[in-house]
Amino acid sequence: MPDLTTQLIHHPYQPPADFAAPQPGVFKASTVIFPSVAAMRERDWKDKSAFTYGLHGTPTTYQLEERLCSLEGGTYCVLVPSGLTAIANVALALLKTGDSMLVPDNVYGPNKSFADGQLARWGISTQVYDAMDPADLAAKITDTTRLVWVEAAGSVTLEFPDLPALVRICHDRGVVCALDNTWGAGLAFNPFDLLPGTSPALGVDISAHALTKYPSGGGDVLMGSVITRDPALHRKIQRTHMHLGLAVGANDAELVLRSLSSMALRYHAHDAATRTLARWCTQQPAFAQVLHPALPDSPGHAHWLTLCRTDAAAGLFSVVLDAQYTVAQVDAFCDALQLFKIGYSWGGPMSLVVPYELASMRKKWPTGIAQGTLVRFAVGLESVTDLQADLAQALQHMVASC
Ligand SMILES: *Cc1c(COP(=O)(O)O)cnc(C)c1O
């Protein structure tokens, strides 16, 4: 009989195998145990019919990967520790010295920062194109372009591009097209089949998703995914993922698995409340413009109508303050909000607000966007009546202080 300390580590008890519950189990592992040296030697870390090491996946992360593939209509998935890591993983897998990348001017800001701060050091250059002008993308693709990012809707200004046109240009020129699919989240449109019914399917090559937003839904988990249909592309992404050791925590994977079941309901609730508030904002004279893809006057509204399910426009909208209001007054408006908290990110139950100075973020002032300070709202799951009253009192506060 082994010593008690040994027994507690090598205990013979095995629970019965027929346990079933609504939620998958949380498997935690760095070490995975092999039945023999031969089995260890034979096992290929890339082969997902088995397990090799915690870094390459556990039953918990495999399940999350499969469910995310179903959500986005893809075949292969890797999980990474944040949305930004998903963006970095794609670029590092596909680009080498001498290559170049194109991003839209309204791309998620840290994507540009990563390109300028990291990729540039490796001799990879990045150019900016106007997402609302497919001809501009076509003109900027060169012999060295290896990766084009697309985003729908665009960050902060929420212009909705002609996504099928942008994707076609990339495919015609033989350039990989990667979508930041955080806004659509797999619910607004299928990134791998943008125009259902067309054969062969027209879709992006890669979908990167900040699971931090709607899939987490709690404002508490940071995670990202990179999804593809093409096995060769997946292999490249998977190899970089392995070399960088980009594992996610089992408890975080569990939280996303738990939230995923209610994601569609939450997304539509965020959407409905956001439209109500955005429409109300169009009637307020202090706002020169309201940006939300489902509003007829918002840039790219017609593209949104063509591409998206009509009940899918996410939970974000922005307003451009009338030019008479100073930055300090706009800050005071944000500070006066009670339910909308000041903070980055979105997709959780709590409504959030961030003011933006667009001029410092963009190469040029975007077409169709009024001049003025911009405020971006992320609408949570509070009562829409309460949120509207909060906006009204903060507006009154700002106007009265002028
Ligand atoms: C939040 C966000 C990301 C990054 O996600 P993190 O998990 O915060 O790193 C990437 N793209 C878009 C569009 C986002 O909104």
Q: Where are the domains of the chain?
A: 37-260, 263-400
CA dihedral of residues 284, 286, 291, 295 (deg, nearest 10): 20
What pLDDT does residue 309 have?
86
Closest CA to 223 of 189, 257, 193: 257
Largest CA distance in the chain: 84
What pLDDT does residue 60 have?
97
Domain 263-400 top-level CATH class: alpha beta
What pLDDT does residue 296 have?
96
pLDDT at 402 over 80: no
Closest ligand 1 atom to 85 CA: 9
Rounded Cα gap, residues 179 and 163, in angstroms: 10
Q: How far is CA 5 from CA 29, 31, 240, in A?
A: 21, 20, 40
Q: Quick one: average pLDDT of 178-186?
A: 98
Which residues is 210 bridged to in the sheet? Answer: 224
As given in the structure block, the two tokens for residue 127 are 């150019």
Q: Is CATH 3.90.1560.10 correct for 37-260? A: no
Query: Cα(84) to centroid of ligand 1, in Å?
Result: 6
Instruction: For the chain, give the mean pLDDT.
Output: 97
Q: How many CB atoms lie within 10 A of CB 349?
A: 13
> Which protein residue has the closest C-alpha to ligand 1 atom 3?
83
Probe ligand 1: pick from 87, 90, 103, 108, max atoms within 8 Å of CB?
108
Cα distance from N-terminal residue to C-terminal residue, the chain: 83
Closest ligand 1 atom to 151 CA: 13
Q: Judge if the beta carbon of residue 260 lies within 6 A of ligand 1.
A: no
> Which protein residue has the closest C-alpha to ligand 1 atom 8?
83
Contact between 189 and 303 (Cβ < 8 Å): no
Contact between 377 and 352 (Cβ < 8 Å): yes
pLDDT at 214 over 80: yes
pLDDT at 19 over 90: yes
Rounded Cα gap, residues 149 and 140, in angstroms: 13
pLDDT digits (tens, 9 = 90+) for 80-113: 999 999 999 999 999 999 999 999 999 999 999 9
